[in-house]
Amino acid sequence: MSDLLVSRRQLLEVGALGAGALALPAWARGADMHGAHIRKGFDEVSGHRIDLTVGEGIQMVQGRQGHAFAVNGSVPGPLVRLKEGQHVQLAVTNTLAEDTSIHWHGLLVPFQYDGVPGVSFPGIAPGQTFVADFTVRQSGTYWWHSHSNLQEQAGHYGPIVVEPAGPDPVQADRDYVLLLSEFTPLHPHTIMDKLKKGEGYFNYQQTSWTDDYPLDGADRRMWARMRMMATDILDVTGSTYTYLANGHGPEEGLEYAFNKGERVRLRVINGSAMSFFNIRIPGVKMWVVAADGQNVRPVEVDEFQIGTAETYDIVVEPTGEAHTIVAEAMDRSGMAVATLASRPGARAEVPALRDPPLLTMADMGMGGMDHGGMDHGSGGDMSGMDHGEMDHGSMNHGSMNHGSMDHGSMDMGATAGGAMDMSGHSMRDTSLLPDDVKVGPGIDMVAMNPVDRMGDPGIGLSDVGHRVLNYRDLVALKMNPDHRAPSREMEIHLTGNMERYMWSFDGKKFSAVSDEPIRFGFNERVRVKLVNDTMMAHPIHLHGHFFELVNGANAMYQPLKHTVIVQPGGSARFDLTANEPGDWAFHCHLLYHMHSGMFQIVSVDFPENGE
């Protein structure tokens, strides 16, 4: 760490004020909460000073119970309502027996209030209160969550709504928050331990012992030889998770009231630890009007995928007595459910879970490659791949080591059953990687042809037969302030070893001791290319900034986001104006991926004049 960062921390420690726990209500005293039940849903807090108290207790969901962290006595914690331009003090008191923190996800704040222990402040010790004191500089839908000790998985999160200073371009008769998350009776560190022992522990949808998937025998043998699963979509699934809507399980009856003819705004927040959701409201049109809190030109869709840590605002005009809001996990192992109801208790049919999706050749990093037009049966469109243009000379034609996997017997030609024989190619050809990527046991796959997948609607949604949002649909409602062309480009590889459950950037697991941060000059304009060398979708989040997705829109209207999904075996690009000085976290927002090492620090220089 730099000397400058050390001096910042010394100053921050002065701001951590002690607080007397005896003055707190019973639910807030950590010692008293071990047997207390936590409330579902959330209250609303606002004003010049907002007090948030972190406690713990028992969370009950549909007959199951587990330990949880509660803020102001509920899961999720309270809706923090702010107004653009106001000055606010957010006071966080810790009554736990361990350190805690709150990161204001998406809010533009001075770095020392960003809430990441070891990066921007020391954390909040037991019995202490930390106050974030700043002026609100934006409007939109955001959220907050712990950045300490996997607490986010166990209930330490809540929504943020910032009202605009002027007229809101989105007009609606009703305005609701839908915060999606998960409940599990397992302790977060137990989940981490099980993933390290066997990354497929929670995947009950494995193709190795079931006939419920449209794979022929040759395809099954191909996946078996790779020791991989075509249904390996999410690391933690509905086998242990109950998916929540505002803290309510799918059988617990969350309702949003409406009158016929009204426009309803739903602020959808993915506050989960590990889950992607596919959102649809059967029979109701949706208009996406904001992404990650930033207004976009309205896009009419029937369904959209929301990655962990993303937010989307939608407007709907319900017409029936009731409509079911479906948030189906991406692997279709479960769903969160809520109801738009014209009267209390009104219900619509809840659709059955759809068949689990299957990974494709594009997810293996072979998108756009033509294998002779053959149909592989597993959903991979190979029609664009031209083997005549591929350089095979640099490829390792020996055994393919996918962790301990032996892929050497696989042949890329078509078999009689349509499967792939890959003996002429290596999925671990590290010669394809740039020199700055560290090659070692942390990498078990290299994408051979990682094409831009900004136009991909997400795993399992390419053939659903209706309109599905993708990043190319997003266009900023207002012109972006910085029209400069990037002065340089940088490439970052998302790397991992599924079998060992190791995750990293550029093959390097994060180390606060030895790692140099990613450095940007103040106000520098940089184009960043993220290349996903794994077969999992990663939601990559940069603290303290919004970046512009390079999605084919006019450069002046590229959509602003703080989190971008990088599809398996593909790439994504964004333009960043590094105008927020300080040290910021940059990481995969899948909690156990971040915890396993897919994390880095971005350091933005302070302006020379010190302002």
Which helix (H) or strand (E) segment holds residue 237: the answer is none
Check residue 489 and give its pLDDT. 97
Dihedral sign for Cα 193, 194, 199, 202, please.
Answer: negative
Of 383, 396, 403, 431, which is closest to residue 535 (Cα–Cα)?
403
- How far apart are alpha carbons 338 and 178 in whole angstroms? 9
Check residue 209 and give its pLDDT. 44
- What SS3 state is found at 527? strand
Check residue 244 and give its pLDDT. 98
- Residue 184 in contact with residue 213, Cβ under 8 Å? no
**What is the value of pTM for the model shown?**
0.85
**Domain spans, the chain:** 3-168, 169-199+235-356, 471-604
Task: Report the top-level CATH class of 169-199+235-356.
Answer: mainly beta
Check residue 201 and give its pLDDT. 55
DSSP for 568-605 reads TT-EEEEEEEE-S-EEEEEEESSHHHHHHT-EEEEEEP
Check residue 495 and give its pLDDT. 95
DSSP label at 387?
Answer: G
How far, CA to CA in Å, does 539 sit from each of 91, 188, 208, 517, 588?
29, 20, 28, 20, 6
Domains 3-168 and 471-604 share a fold: yes
CB environment 477-511: b (16+ within 10 A), e (fewer):
eeebeeeeebeeeeebbbbbbbbebbbbbbbbbbe
- How far apart are alpha carbons 290 and 39 in whole angstroms? 30
Check residue 216 and give its pLDDT. 59
Phi, psi angles (nearest 5°) of residue 418: 90, 5
Torsion, Cα 471 475 476 482, to 10 degrees, reads 90
- How far apart are alpha carbons 205 and 231 in whole angstroms? 6
Query: Strands 401-402, 277-280: parallel, antiparallel or unpaired by DSSP?
Result: unpaired
- How far apart are alpha carbons 249 and 62 in whole angstroms? 6
Check residue 204 and give its pLDDT. 54
Check residue 366 and give its pLDDT. 66
**Residue numbers in the chain where pLDDT is lower than 50:** 1-33, 207-211, 370-425
Q: Count H helices, E strands: the chain? A: 4, 38
> How many other β-carbons are positioned within 10 Å of the β-carbon of residue 397?
13
CB environment 96-119: b (16+ within 10 A), e (fewer):
beebbbbbbbbbbbebbbbbbbbb
Task: Report the top-level CATH class of 3-168.
Answer: mainly beta
Task: Report the top-level CATH class of 471-604.
Answer: mainly beta
DSSP label at 418?
Answer: S
- How far apart are alpha carbons 524 and 454 in whole angstroms? 24
